Structure 1
């Protein structure tokens, strides 16, 4: 009998012990921020495969850089404005006494990444950049349980044909190692096959977590990118899938980097096309270090599981999106109902 991984108790990235996630959003803005916080600093790295990334402090996550651990990671809407969410998180952590101590200075280390949601119908005519405040609110809201869909960094996210969103998923490996993923899905590509009913990630679905329709029975699903999102926004730049994968196995910084590379397969299996010139696709990978050191064989299994979790998280993000006034694109459930009625 082939062994099958099971989800963690929450089917969230916080099934990795020692992690918390907080969301903050503004309905009028149609944007928000998501913060991942560790009970203690954690080892992390990052890999970028999109052609248009937006990041803060990601250089320090390279394996050859001297910073060993960071305090939190931020995913945010708002394009370059959203990078200021990291400032709000940094201020909140400093006030809580968290950070790298260098002499009398206390410096929280908070890398972040952003997606473009400035043309999604929300009110973007602010006088003062709202994202630092959103970052602080998300930090204050951090806990083991959190909402998915049109919340946090996924509030204003869009895919080629549907609203995007915030997603998460987890797996427990046969040796007890836990792996999880958190994603804000806002790609230029499709998360469903032609017709909008079947998710590309369907082969990896567990427990009907995004509808249980199964894979598309059709073959020959080869064709050009046709995107309602591009048409509605008068351009192709409003994109990006940004994600975090995590494990409780103890990994070095170099191993975290390899994990971030492997996890990108999860985007490619759930979004078609992925990693385009107009996406800023990025995956952070972290280790809480609560388990034993991982062997190379275990790292291969962890990377495989991280990609599976990320594919499922992307589908869950779209499946759980909810409608709001002024939406540019429909939610998956509404679009699926319309498609089924025409069948």
Structure 2
């Protein structure tokens, strides 16, 4: 286990980003189409093909997922991933036509100091293609891909991942792009809200503070009084090797959203667009009640860990007034 989303067999992840742009794309590719659903809790989401993932709709499985910066401009990243898959004959077959199925979601990073004057067309479709082409079993964490330009209320953020297994050996893993309006750390200190779920010192091993003060529970928002409804969003992908129906995958996404509440304070606000995709590769049958409940419990913990790692592994952007990284402040 590498503590990555790609601990699930048949899953690959690729990044493409632009340091001058201070934004990028992350592609999650499935070697075989995976049963997928989603859950949206934030008040300002930006998604691609989200209606398709409703359990009442026809298509059960997807070929890939596209996560991007760029706000609504970044929705085009899915087209780049789709193009890469189409060149390889991947997709949903309708007679001789083959359509790759690539849902996606975006976060807002347009005000992070990068040069967003890209001309007529935004670069996200090309970045999506490059991210798909780069997909592999190992991938970087922190300020890379869709997490390159991500921030929280008080620290630079980025992309994190984590994995785990249930008592019966069913695998579940998460990838998170952390661009929250709130904070992933407690007050002005080094402690992570997700500290109780940490495994092996994966985000510094600082635990919780000795006690909580009223100041630690004060609301901290990105942008302060100038915060707007479009400046944030945390995106997560949860993948399991369990056998799930589309409606069970949606239930897994719903339970996994609990991990957001364990790692971000405040969360699911009108200022966020929080989204969880849940996908199942279908290798191991589980009990539809107790088994799915346990899987959701472990998935929520894993999402919380992935979010904390997204902040812990981040590096600051090289722009004036850029937010510091956690390691800049606390790792010395």
Q: Secondary structure at the match of 2:212?
A: coil
User: How many equivalent residue pairs?
Assistant: 328
Q: Deviations over 1:292-324 (max 9, x none)?
A: 244311100110011001000011000000133
Of the three residues 33, 40, 55, the one matched with 1:63 is 55
Q: Which residue of 1 aligns with 2:211?
A: 218
Asked whether the 8 Å contact 1:249–1:294 carries over to 2, the reply is: no
Alignment of 1:190-339 (within 5 A): 190-221=183-214, 223-227=217-221, 229-231=222-224, 234-236=226-228, 237-326=230-319, 328-336=322-330
Asked whether the 8 Å contact 2:317–2:323 carries over to 1, the reply is: no
Q: CA separation in 1, counterparts of 2:136 and 2:243? A: 22
Q: Runs of at least 4 residues of structure 1 off by over 6 A?
A: none
TM-score (normalizing by structure 2): 0.96
Asked whether the 8 Å contact 1:169–1:181 carries over to 2, the reply is: yes
Q: Deviations over 1:20-63 (max 9, x none)?
A: 11111100000001111111000000000000000010111111
Q: Which residue of 2 aligns with 1:52?
A: 44
Q: Which residue of 1 aligns with 2:122?
A: 129
Asked whether the 8 Å contact 1:189–1:272 carries over to 2, the reply is: yes
Q: CA separation in 2, counterparts of 1:107 and 1:323? A: 39
Q: CA separation in 1, counterparts of 2:187 and 2:63? A: 42
Q: CA separation in 1, counterparts of 2:287 and 2:66? A: 26
Q: Secondary structure at the match of 1:290?
A: strand
Of the three residues 43, 58, 74, the one matched with 2:66 is 74
CA RMSD of aligned residues (A): 1.4
Asked whether the 8 Å contact 1:171–1:179 carries over to 2, the reply is: yes
* Structure 2 gap ranges (5+): none
Q: Secondary structure at the match of 2:168?
A: coil
Of the three residues 168, 175, 186, the one matched with 1:182 is 175
Of the three residues 6, 26, 29, the one matched with 1:34 is 26
Q: CA separation in 1, counterparts of 2:117 and 2:298? A: 42
TM-score (normalizing by structure 1): 0.93
Q: CA separation in 2, counterparts of 1:89 and 1:287? A: 20
